[in-house]
Amino acid sequence: MRKKLLKNMDWGVLVCVLLLLGIGLVALFSTTQNTEHGEFIKQLQWLAACVPVFILVIAIDYDKILKIAPVFYGASIFLLVLVLFTKPINGASSWFSIGSFSFQPSEFGKIALVLFMAYSLNLLQAKDRKEINKVYKLFIALLIAVVPILLILKEPDYGTATAYLFATVFILFVSGINKRYILLVAVLAAILIPLVYLNLPEHALKRIEVYLHPESDPRGSGYNIIQSKLAIGAGQVLGMGVLQGNQTQLGYLHPKTTDFIFSAIGEEMGFVVAGAIIVIYVVMITKIIYIAKTAKDNIGSYIAIGIAGILCFHMLENIGMTMGLLPITGVPLPFVSYGGSSLLTNFICLGLVLNVSARRQKAIFLE
């Protein structure tokens, strides 16, 4: 049985992750040389802790994991409510801090959302996949996503909330939802986006203004994006060399180990490595989508496609914001940026994807 699981597993996804981890660790080693490699060492420690969890997630059949999905989802909602009463860090109440240890409940909430959405849709579609098009059932599915999204917006953390939204959209898209609902959402979005924009808080409007015109405040809100673009441009084709980047090593780029690590990679390793990262992500996400298509059941498809949505958003947003193509939201680059909560969440997601791939049989959607 184990040999069959290993044979079915898509090792290409794991290879992509190992390549991203390798590039990320080299970048972290370089960006932390002025702080005695503190964050680099912590990332290695987190990586060591993630490996056994990753193996465990693969080993347990996802059907069994799904049985605790309601409990996991309920616990994540409780933590998302509780974190609102913590002391804000950088203007957002998103972290629990216990001594030197801290974690972000919204990171683990991504897994809870994907699992509970898969669990709930399986019940809602018990008779027929088209059952999801009944208004009350679709409302239930949307409510599952809306509750945590609203709590995360309250923190506020717009980037993570959007990741939840991407996961939900990806899952619903393959659930057999009628195209008329997709059209309705598109129309509502066209109406609501201007209204939301007009009612955004001042700091959010400032971020959008900086995104559009960073040169309007070069020493204030526009500073980070200007330095990021300078760093990427300075790297040219082959980069300035590891430990040699001007913006990275002289402290102009911040935060260079998390949000702007892609900028540091672009400066020190050049277009070749930065471009390779994008290619690796595209290959990995494409493979995960294929795993969703060939899963043995609807549940496996929903899990894999939801995770594909999360990774797709993180890749697009992080790389896009470092190049000035998208607003800065503080979203990390999966498997590359520093962060224990993020790394553990990503490894659990990877474990679930490989779990589904090891037990897949034939395509069950896109018929």
Residue 101, classed as helix, strand or coil, is strand
Determine whether 4 is exposed, middle or buried from the number of CB atoms within 10 Å of its CB (0-12, 13-18, 19+).
exposed
Q: Report the distance separating Cα 103 and Cα 69, nearest Å.
A: 21
Q: pLDDT tens, 26-53?
A: 999 999 988 888 899 999 999 999 999 9
Domain segments of the chain: what residues?
2-358
pLDDT digits (tens, 9 = 90+) for 305-349: 999 999 999 999 999 999 988 888 888 999 999 988 899 999 999
- State yes or no: pLDDT of 55 exceeds 60: yes
What are the phi and psi torsion angles at 98 (to 5°)?
A: -125, 95
Average pLDDT taken over every residue of the chain: 88
- The better pLDDT of the pair 350, 190 is held by 350
Q: How far apart are CA 33 and CA 31, in angstroms?
A: 6
What are the phi and psi torsion angles at 44 (to 5°)? -65, -40
Give CA–CA dist 122/259, Å, rounded: 36
Give the model confidence (pLDDT) of 148-172 as tens digits. Answer: 999 998 888 888 999 999 999 999 9
What's the rounded mean pLDDT across residues 70-90?
Answer: 90
Quickly count: other Cβ atoms within 10 Å of residue 316's Cβ: 17
Q: Please tell me the predicted confidence (pLDDT) of residue 365.
A: 45
> Over the stretch 198-238, which tens digit does the pLDDT of each residue have?
777 776 677 677 777 787 777 777 888 899 999 999 999 99
Can you tell me the distance from the alpha carbon of 95 to that of 84, in angstroms, rounded to the nearest whole number? 9
Nearest to 121 by CA among 109, 108, 112, 130: 130
Tell me the β-bridge partners of 101: 98
- What is the spatial distance between Cα 358 and Cα 28, in angstroms, rounded to a whole number? 32
Over residues 81-88, the mean pLDDT reads: 88
**In a 3-state reduction of DSSP, which class is residue 138?**
helix
260, 289, 287, 265: which is closest to 276 by C-alpha?
265
Looking at the predicted structure, is the pLDDT value of residue 364 above 50?
A: no
Distance CA 284, CA 336 (A): 14
| Per-residue pLDDT, 2 | 67
How high is the pLDDT of residue 307? 97
Using DSSP, how many helices (H) and how many strands (E) does the chain show?
15, 2
Note the pTM of the prediction, 2 decimals. Answer: 0.90
More reliable by pLDDT, 91 or 144: 144
User: 71 pLDDT exceeds 80?
Assistant: yes
Whether residue 210 contacts residue 216, with contact meaning beta carbons closer than 8 Å, is answered with yes
